[in-house]
Structure 1
Amino acid sequence: MTAPAPTRRGRWIERWDPEDEGFWNATGERIARRNLWFSVLSEHIGFSVWTLWSVLVLFMGPEYGLTPADKFLLTSVVTLVGAVVRVPYTFAVAVFGGRNWTVVSASLLLAPTIAAFTVMEPGTSFSTFLLVGLLAGIGGGNFASSMTNINAFFPLRKKGWALGLNAGGGNIGVPVIQLAALAIIGAGGGPRVLLGIYIPLIVVAAVLAALFMDNLASVKNDTGAAKDAARDGHTWIMAFLYVGTFGSFIGYSFAFGQVLTNQFGRTPLQAAYLTFIGPLLGSLIRPVGGWLADRYGGARITLWNYVGMAAATAVLIGAGMRKSLPLFVSVFVVLFVLSGLGNGSTYKMIPGIFQAKALARGLEGEAAVAHGRRLSGAAMGLIGAVGALGGVGINLAFRQSFLSYGSGTGAFVAFLGFYAVCFVVTWAVYLRRPIGRIPATASTSEEKTQLSYAEV
């Protein structure tokens, strides 16, 4: 039976049932896609603002008085704040509505951008740069609210693609701001030119969200969902795996340029010519990771992705020790691509795991869908926050490696070990055995095999 068309009260949609194919084909897909595109725009600019300081530090020459360790600490602080604010941003969607919070969160990006425009000059104290960097961290929160919102719009069979496209479109804000910086540096411009470009773009994103996005009344403020998700062990297992994928992507995005300037002696302009390539390809391939997970199972794609990440890291260690810049850059780009692919596959696993657990509890139909959507939406915020903390760890590891050894080799050795652990965890938890079995109904003696974790 086809669900009734959604009704609107202001910009609120009262009835939403994407799992009903008749409803989805008639009206749901068109509305969901429209919200997806404008969500991508806002999240894209949020990522650009969050990673702003990975670019600004390239402008900060000796006249700023900052050491390489100072710059790694600065980018670590920005990454940390972006990770922490993802938790409240996740639940803001249920409190204010997805469209309403997108407008607010986009508008908030003006604060760090204008603040950076004001202080970006030689003579500013390091503590002031740290404070302004803290403000830029709020751009990292847009990802969590955007993913939670879009998760509610799409049916389970489409979530891998939709979440991958939403996140990939946001992630691509990293290389876009790096490309903009490259053009400005190449033209002899300064950092305030870059910041001046983004201020009106933020206003445009907020206005478009207000005009074209919707709130879903079915996404209720449910603090119990957050507590239930936090008590579920799979939330923290997936958070750990997301540290390996997204933590790598965002951490390397912040650190790549600094590694090239400090370890290989590249100038800021030379580094800028190279740093955007990896984040760009890693962002573009994230939807492919979600699509592959839809088709073959997120756990399988994630497992083999970690094999590739470990192999690439091992080659990076050798390239760094041999001082081979072409090999180092080429393999670093491959590592970015693999991290993007893994981002898509791990995030597809989240709704699948909670849907499978709902079926294992004996829930069926809409009850199982509602239970899975409730917990997966809450879990995404926690998983996204912990995953982003991996970026903090990467920048701190590079900082310590350069202080101790004068290169990033020590950090890459640690990353190699971590990817090996992620491989083992993925195999042991999600591929070694099925989730379990669903008891048969009273009318049959057969048992229906529950979804295996390999299929989520």
Structure 2
Amino acid sequence: MTERTADTATLTPPTVPALEHRPGRWIANWDAENPAQWESVGRGIARRNLNWSIFAEFLGFVVWQLWSIVVVQLPAAGFRFSTNEIFWLISMPSLVGATLRIPYTFMVPRFGGRNWTVVSALLLLIPSTGLAFCVANPGTPFGVMLLVAALAGFGGGNFASSMANISFFYPAREKGWALGLNAAGGNLGAAVAQLAVPVAVTLLAAGTINLPVAGLMWVPLILLAAFGAWKYMDNLTSARGDVAGSLAALKEPHLWVMALLYIGTFGSFIGFAGVFPKLIKDYFPAFSSFGIGTVALSLAFLGPLVGSLARPYGGRMADRLGGARMTVAAFAAMAAITLTMVWTLPMKNFWLFLILFLALFTASGFGNGATYRMIPVIFALHSRAARTGAAPAATQKLASSALGLISAIGAYGGFVIPQVLNAANTATGSYTPAFYGFVAAYVLMLAVCWACYLRPAGHGKGHV
């Protein structure tokens, strides 16, 4: 018996299943739903794993968003790419990241949460150092740049494995808050990257920019995250993959409805986070950055910041008022704000533009939290399995599978939004048609949410 096992056996009451600590930081007999085990030893272990999971996922979002920040600096570094090529560099990480979320969901049961966190963190070294090498030479071919930008999708995949891992550690009564913290901590990576990178690449650069720093500055933190996960996180033998559950979830109509709504909420958040620096530069070039001494500061970070902070509050308000009501309200606000932003653009007022876009990020964050909160409730009450009398444990398992798939599908919004803006600009020379398209999409999603989950003849009015 190891020293850790002996300590646990001494501290744990006889009625509690004794945790067995195996080599490689594997834990057997984990049962978060057992109150005695949870209160005696489980909560501390879960919190330690959550803390390092948040840090690793935070860095995943940082790397995922790096190219959206770097592209606005490329002309000053001597690169001559077309607007179309710039939008591909912005959107490619989201395309790859969304796709990787599907296999990443199954990596935790296959390799262990601690082991996969180490691997997924170390994978971030490839796009971060690759970016540094690419932007150091203005002669780097666009194809190489696009490939390295695609590798930044590793950071987007981290969300799925991180959320799957933490869900195994927490009991159902605390799972929502833990997953909310994990998600919000990751989302904040987009804001911190957009704040820190412009400062870092101009610091001590004597009026120029040092673009390789945008990638290299994160290497020590990535190594720290990998070491911390290796040293302090754990694998659970009870974490089991559920491919059959995922296949069953795909047959549920509610999965596709909620995926559409999540594209509108999270997809808007990650999509606009990616294009916000470029939109500011294109519409208000004088305000693209602010000189503070020898460094340049971009206000683009404020968008993902307020969106990230709004997410947990959206989930909390959904608990009190209903997720469907909050989601409908969020889409109504997003449509109204987007229309107002388009109609006030001719005023050429940067501060009004910034305030409206921050309001749009806030509404998307609220909707993000509310939509995510709806999913387990819908599958518990209105899924085919629930209607045919399946046990609560079965519907909970189905909802867990659906969450991973919906988060992957929703992340494709990060690819769609830049590409729609690019198409509108190519066809008309203006982004305005794209924004009108987004308004129409928000109205459609509002109508779908109301028809499916709020109208009197719908499913469980007032309960979703």
Q: Give the TM-score normalised by the residue count of structure 1.
A: 0.90
Tell me the equivalent position of 2:6: none
Alignment of 1:175-254 (within 5 A): 175-187=191-203, 188=205, 189-254=209-274
Tell me the equivalent position of 1:262: 282
173-182 vs 258-267, greater mean Cα deviation = 258-267
The amino acid that maps onto 1:325 is: F
1:78 and 2:86 are equivalent in the alignment: no
- How many percent identity over aligned positions? 45
The amino acid that maps onto 1:385 is: A
Q: Which of 437, 450, 463 is the matching residue for 1:455?
A: 463
The amino acid that maps onto 1:179 is: L
Tell me the equivalent position of 2:373: 348
1:36 and 2:50 are equivalent in the alignment: yes
89-98 vs 147-156, greater mean Cα deviation = 147-156
C-alpha separation between the residues in 2 aligned to 1:454 and 1:90? 31
Gaps of 5+ in 1: 437-451
Q: Is the 8 A contact 1:109 1:138 kept in 2?
A: yes
Tell me the equivalent position of 1:301: 326
The Cα shift of 1:246 comes to: 0.8
C-alpha separation between the residues in 2 aligned to 1:235 and 1:204? 37
Q: Is the 8 A contact 2:98 2:157 kept in 1?
A: yes
The Cα shift of 1:405 comes to: 3.2
The amino acid that maps onto 1:78 is: P
C-alpha separation between the residues in 1 aligned to 2:463 and 2:202? 48
Tell me the equivalent position of 1:428: 451
C-alpha separation between the residues in 2 aligned to 1:345 and 1:295? 11
1:23-66 CA distance string (max 9 Å, x none): 43333332222221111111000000011101111220162011
SS in 2 for 1:85: helix
The Cα shift of 1:94 comes to: 1.7
- After superposition, the Cα gap between the structure-2 partners of 1:66 and 1:316, relative to the gap in structure 1 and judged at 3 Å, is same
1:417 and 2:440 are equivalent in the alignment: yes
Q: Is the 8 A contact 1:320 1:409 kept in 2?
A: no
Alignment of 1:347-366 (within 5 A): 347-356=372-381, 357=383, 360-364=387-391
Tell me the equivalent position of 1:445: none
Tell me the equivalent position of 2:145: 129
C-alpha separation between the residues in 2 aligned to 1:176 and 1:234? 34
The Cα shift of 1:455 comes to: 3.2
Tell me the equivalent position of 1:7: 20
1:384 and 2:400 are equivalent in the alignment: no
1:147 and 2:155 are equivalent in the alignment: no
The Cα shift of 1:359 comes to: 5.0
SS in 2 for 1:455: coil
Q: Is the 8 A contact 1:174 1:253 kept in 2?
A: yes
C-alpha separation between the residues in 1 aligned to 2:321 and 2:170? 19
C-alpha separation between the residues in 2 aligned to 1:426 and 1:25? 39
Q: Which of 33, 50, 53 is the matching residue for 2:67?
A: 53
The Cα shift of 1:213 comes to: 1.6
- After superposition, the Cα gap between the structure-2 partners of 1:22 and 1:363, relative to the gap in structure 1 and judged at 3 Å, is farther
SS in 2 for 1:51: helix
Gaps of 5+ in 2: 1-13, 291-295
Q: Is the 8 A contact 1:147 1:380 kept in 2?
A: no
C-alpha separation between the residues in 2 aligned to 1:112 and 1:363? 44
Tell me the equivalent position of 2:311: 286
Tell me the equivalent position of 1:96: 111
C-alpha separation between the residues in 2 aligned to 1:277 and 1:174? 10
- After superposition, the Cα gap between the structure-2 partners of 1:261 and 1:284, relative to the gap in structure 1 and judged at 3 Å, is same
1:330-377 CA distance string (max 9 Å, x none): 11011111111222121122222233346544345xxx23x2342223
Tell me the equivalent position of 2:3: none
Tell me the equivalent position of 1:115: 130
**Alignment coverage as a number of residue pairs:** 437
346-355 vs 228-237, greater mean Cα deviation = 346-355
C-alpha separation between the residues in 2 aligned to 1:161 and 1:148? 14
C-alpha separation between the residues in 1 aligned to 2:378 and 2:171? 15
C-alpha separation between the residues in 1 aligned to 2:44 and 2:238? 18
SS in 2 for 1:37: helix
Q: Is the 8 A contact 1:316 1:331 kept in 2?
A: yes
The Cα shift of 1:77 comes to: 1.4
Q: Is the 8 A contact 1:59 1:268 kept in 2?
A: no
- After superposition, the Cα gap between the structure-2 partners of 1:315 and 1:267, relative to the gap in structure 1 and judged at 3 Å, is closer
The Cα shift of 1:235 comes to: 1.5
1:124-157 CA distance string (max 9 Å, x none): 1111111111111111000111111222222333
The Cα shift of 1:4 comes to: 2.5
C-alpha separation between the residues in 1 aligned to 2:16 and 2:279? 54
- After superposition, the Cα gap between the structure-2 partners of 1:2 and 1:235, relative to the gap in structure 1 and judged at 3 Å, is farther
- After superposition, the Cα gap between the structure-2 partners of 1:372 and 1:217, relative to the gap in structure 1 and judged at 3 Å, is farther
The Cα shift of 1:108 comes to: 0.6
